[in-house]
Structure 1
Amino acid sequence: MTRHPAQSKCDLLIIGAGPAGMSAAIVARRAGLEVIVADEGEAPGGQIYRNASRSPLADASVLGDDYLAGRALIDAFDASGATHLANCVGWQIESESRRAVAMLTRRAHAGEASGTLDVSARAVLVATGAQERPWPARGWTLPGVMGIGAAQTLLKSSGLAPSQDAVLAGCGPLLWLFASQLLNAGRRVRAIVDTTPRDAWRAALPHALPALAGADYLLKGLRMMRAVKRAGIPVHRRAGAFSIEGEGCAERVRFVDEHGASRSIDTSLVLLHQGVIPSTQLSRSLGCEHEWDASSACWRPRTDARGRSSVENVWIAGDGAGIGGARAAAYAGTLAALDIARELGALDAPARDARSRPARLAMKRHLAVRPLLDALYTPPAALRRPADDVIVCRCEEITAGEIRAIAALGCQGPNQMKAFSRCGMGPCQGRWCGTTVGELIAQVQERAVADVGYYRIRAPIKPVTVDEIADSIALDDGFTRGEFPS
């Protein structure tokens, strides 16, 4: 019996074809590097530029100028000469002996061949972007409840808009962006329930003056809020005690308004959002060091200004290294690619530094508004640490009360919590409960979240079939099957 996974070699393997990954591929190819870009999407663009080059919408301009601007980046990426592996799941990457070895599984789509690919690369750039912050509100597991990011993905990928009785709840720029995009498309929503705390502006005020360097972002946000107001959509600000109710599916939302009055809105679709946080599963599986960012209440990998991680020959760029938005992510990808080219001998240090200077200055301007947004929209602890009866781990249906009870017994961290409760052992592998579990343990034991830590991530970092794992194992003609147990 002879079976070998398909093998490939390159100078640079990039995981993720969003703004950071595409920009890095373009720059690396210009430096003469052989580049492979693996991405789970059917086309390049990532979440922010999903289907920007072939939108199903009759008029894609309803999604805004920033979305349309992604087409130029996608065109440049397509023309770069980088190898793009679409519909490709990277489920194991190991860095050793100055090379990284990755297992990628390409799923069949539109007549393309499927199978497992073994890629050996001299350097790896992790550009996996962000995920929506989990918001374990009461009733968030009911049918009819989903994230605003997921709803926006449906709009971009399939042209599907939510029903007119939808309620948008939470806080953050995406809340207002999606509402304005729906208005541009001729759709409405029933209401917006804004959970931004009353005192958030006071915390954000010290960052207001530096944020003027990114005044275009502030003006865009004001225009979106004005559009919602002009459309007459009810906006309930400074909402608290938010919950979703229904028998078998979402039927209504309840909350306390800014005047302390209890309110209820009937709805069959609730779209939740509390901002986005870096997607760290892949960087954690590689052994990269991470730190707790208290200003935005999330974990982020520890990198230098060029995206170099704590692991040799591994760089991280874009929102996966810290939330900065699409345009900042593109410049981060450029800086990382130039540093990689220097490390691999394709550029000398003076050339790298000279080419990096414009990108560094531009990225600084695009990041100027981030401290203000973090102070304004990072949800308070009360929203991140739910009541005891609220489910935290959706996969295993573990409540906050169960986690607190185990923490009170002396459970030292999320990994021990996993052993005691199965919390984090489901298909999402902790993506939707890891941050909350750490915060709950820290709350009970009066410890710092950074001290509590996070789940230990092991391969496969994405769900794969037994057949796909078997395809990754090389067997020669001398292979013999043993009797169980073998």
Structure 2
Amino acid sequence: MTSITGDEAACPINDLAEAYDVVVIGGGPAGLSAAKTVSDLGARTLLIDENRTPGGQIYRSVLLAREADRQRMGEDYWRGREIAEAFLRSGAHYAPATTAWSIGPAHDEGGRIIGHEVGVSGGGAARLIRARQIVLATGALERSFPIPGWTLPGVMTAGAAQIALKTSGLIPEGRVVIAGTGPLLYLLAAQLVEAGATVSAVLDTTPKSNWLKAARHLPAFLASGYVAKGLRLLRTVQRRTKVVRWVSALSADGKGELKEVVWTADGQEHRMPADLLLLHQGVVPNINFSNATGCKHEWDETQLAFRPQVDTWYETSVPGIAIAGDGAGIQGAEAAALQGSLAGLGCASRLGLVNGEDRDQRAARLKAQLRKVTQGRGFLDVLYRPSRSFRIPPDPKTIVCRCEEVSAGQIRASVRAGAVGPNQMKVFLRSGMGPCQGRLCGLTVTELIADERSVSPGKVDYYRLRFPIKPLKLRELAGLPQSDAAKVAVLADLANTHHSKPK
């Protein structure tokens, strides 16, 4: 199960053991590094990956990439091969094309909690797998970018376009406009123009005032490795397409499909015909799993997102569950790989595979590297902080919850009717109850409620999520082993999902 490089990698779910020392969920740099580290230290380890090959989003399909992809995708992407190959050479078991959908306590025959139980499915079957330690390496989600017209066909996220490019080599046809803020904006623009796409314009919504606010972080940024990379991207994009800065308003226009992109810059409205609009305004921690598991979270005012509380070894408030990588706070791919290794050391220490002194010695080099690769991160966080108008829609008609077609005005009205938080709001609206389970609207809903109440988003909180957090087929549930633990897990999940009342 460890010499896997392509589609032949699919591991039948029935081949997995009933229990592991460590289960890692997520096949990006953090998950791969955590699994390799703890496996090398003697732990029986399983990595669960929704993708067919290791790499996660940032290194998606890197083991299938050809040498010709190297220039198009860039050296940062190509470095993911080393991380993925190192993992495959380890003794960790690998379950690709497999979804983890729940985590619950595992009990012994006397009813005592002895670890955790992970619900997984793949190949049409489902299993419950015990783990003494769990590492969540679920990465990040793109921040919601609710503008008028963003639900039109022809409008999608930049991340979705990048997935299509990495996975299938799909290059968008027609006139492409990329809009938003953040380093990924220019990275995707560069990748698309290198691939031959027609990028008509890059509309940069970074507020001009952010530059002044970020200035105090400039010395650390100039000493970091971000500068050279950023300048290369900017030169590539500015040489090949039109870049418009200081965009303060944006909308997608068309009947039935996208026809034009409308924006305001320097007080003037502009229009441009477009066949595809790609939106992006940064990424935020994917907290769906950690939220449903009951881990404590806090509001990060700098990154404008909720993140789980973790200790030095990335263990959460739930004993035996650690979170590494962007799921614990956005710091980038290099930092994620190092955090994964540190989380793996923490797991090994708690399992008694290394003593404290050995753990600390091994960690010293990793922590030094982590400080180096995150130097200058404060500058990027402040510079690319999305403007208020693109996080909290000023137009009450703007759709916020795409699944249930709930508008910004309806959310504000529910607050005036007595909803003080996202969960209470479900009594009035169905926002957050659709297929995405709040992944697209969660932060926007929280910030809208906070704005209407004139309080911090931290006081409003986030949706309270329930397992299963991913779609699960009834035949998979029906096929679960008929143990008492399985019955309890399924009944609890179904009860929580269908009968719980918002508080």
Match of 1:99 in 2: 115
Match of 1:353 in 2: 360
Higher relative contact order (CA 8 A, sep 6+): 1
Question: Residues of 2 paired with 1:21 and 1:98: CA distance?
Answer: 23
Q: Which amino acid aligns with 2:397?
A: D
Q: Which amino acid aligns with 2:480?
A: S
SS in 2 for 1:53: helix
SS in 2 for 1:66: helix
Match of 2:296 in 1: 289
SS in 1 for 2:42: coil
Q: Which residue among 48, 57, 66 is the counterpart of 1:38?
A: 48
Checking the alignment, whether the CA contact within 8 Å between 1:254 and 1:264 is kept in structure 2 is yes
Question: Does structure 1 residue 140 correspond to structure 2 residue 147?
Answer: no
Checking the alignment, whether the CA contact within 8 Å between 2:174 and 2:275 is kept in structure 1 is no
Q: Which amino acid aligns with 2:243?
A: V
Deviation, structure 1 residue 5: 12
Checking the alignment, whether the CA contact within 8 Å between 1:27 and 1:334 is kept in structure 2 is yes
Matches within 5 A, 1:194-205: 194-205=204-215
Question: Residues of 2 paired with 1:59 and 1:201: CA distance?
Answer: 34
Q: Which amino acid aligns with 2:335?
A: A
Go from structure 1 to structure 2 and tell me whether the alpha carbon gap of 1:57 and 1:135 turns closer, same or farther (over 3 Å shift). farther
Q: Which residue among 421, 431, 436 is the counterpart of 1:413?
A: 421
Match of 1:484 in 2: none
Checking the alignment, whether the CA contact within 8 Å between 1:5 and 1:117 is kept in structure 2 is no
Q: Deviation per CA, 1:46-93, whole angstroms, max 9, x where unpaired?
A: 001111111268433310001111111111111102111111111111
Q: Which amino acid aligns with 1:197?
A: P
Checking the alignment, whether the CA contact within 8 Å between 2:174 and 2:276 is kept in structure 1 is no
Match of 1:55 in 2: 65
SS in 2 for 1:324: coil
Checking the alignment, whether the CA contact within 8 Å between 2:24 and 2:135 is kept in structure 1 is yes
Question: Residues of 2 paired with 1:174 and 1:274: CA distance?
Answer: 9
How large is the Cα RMSD of the aligned pairs? 1.6
Question: Residues of 2 paired with 1:457 and 1:204: CA distance?
Answer: 35
SS in 2 for 1:428: coil
Deviation, structure 1 residue 187: 3.2
Deviation, structure 1 residue 98: 3.7
Q: Which residue among 126, 131, 134 is the counterpart of 2:141?
A: 131
Deviation, structure 1 residue 368: 1.6
Deviation, structure 1 residue 179: 1.1
Question: Does structure 1 residue 318 correspond to structure 2 residue 325?
Answer: yes
Matches within 5 A, 1:368-383: 368-383=375-390
Match of 1:399 in 2: 407
Q: Which amino acid aligns with 1:282?
A: F
Q: Which residue among 63, 78, 91 is the counterpart of 1:81?
A: 91
Question: Does structure 1 residue 226 correspond to structure 2 residue 246?
Answer: no
SS in 2 for 1:202: helix
Gaps of 5+ in 2: 1-13, 107-112, 488-503
SS in 2 for 1:49: coil
SS in 2 for 1:36: strand
Q: Which amino acid aligns with 2:431?
A: C
Go from structure 1 to structure 2 and tell me whether the alpha carbon gap of 1:119 and 1:34 turns closer, same or farther (over 3 Å shift). same
Go from structure 1 to structure 2 and tell me whether the alpha carbon gap of 1:6 and 1:346 turns closer, same or farther (over 3 Å shift). closer
Q: Which residue among 153, 157, 173 is the counterpart of 2:167?
A: 157
Deviation, structure 1 residue 475: 6.1
Match of 2:256 in 1: 248
Question: Residues of 2 paired with 1:294 and 1:264: CA distance?
Answer: 34
Return the TM-score normalized by structure 2.
Answer: 0.90
Question: Residues of 1 paired with 2:449 and 2:152: CA distance?
Answer: 26
Deviation, structure 1 residue 7: 5.8
SS in 2 for 1:22: helix
Checking the alignment, whether the CA contact within 8 Å between 2:32 and 2:87 is kept in structure 1 is yes
Q: Deviation per CA, 1:232-256, whole angstroms, max 9, x where unpaired?
A: x111100112100110011111111
Q: Deviation per CA, 1:177-213, whole angstroms, max 9, x where unpaired?
A: 0111123223330111110111110011011112234
Gaps of 5+ in 1: 109-113, 480-486
Q: Which residue among 110, 115, 128 is the counterpart of 1:118?
A: 128
Q: Which residue among 169, 180, 188 is the counterpart of 2:179?
A: 169
Checking the alignment, whether the CA contact within 8 Å between 2:22 and 2:133 is kept in structure 1 is yes
Q: Which residue among 329, 334, 338 is the counterpart of 1:327?
A: 334
Question: Residues of 2 paired with 1:305 and 1:93: CA distance?
Answer: 23
Question: Residues of 2 paired with 1:62 and 1:235: CA distance?
Answer: 20
Match of 2:19 in 1: 9
How many matched pairs? 465
Deviation, structure 1 residue 292: 0.6
Identity, % of aligned positions: 43
Deviation, structure 1 residue 472: 2.6
Go from structure 1 to structure 2 and tell me whether the alpha carbon gap of 1:7 and 1:68 turns closer, same or farther (over 3 Å shift). closer
Question: Does structure 1 residue 267 correspond to structure 2 residue 277?
Answer: no
Question: Residues of 2 paired with 1:213 and 1:331: CA distance?
Answer: 20
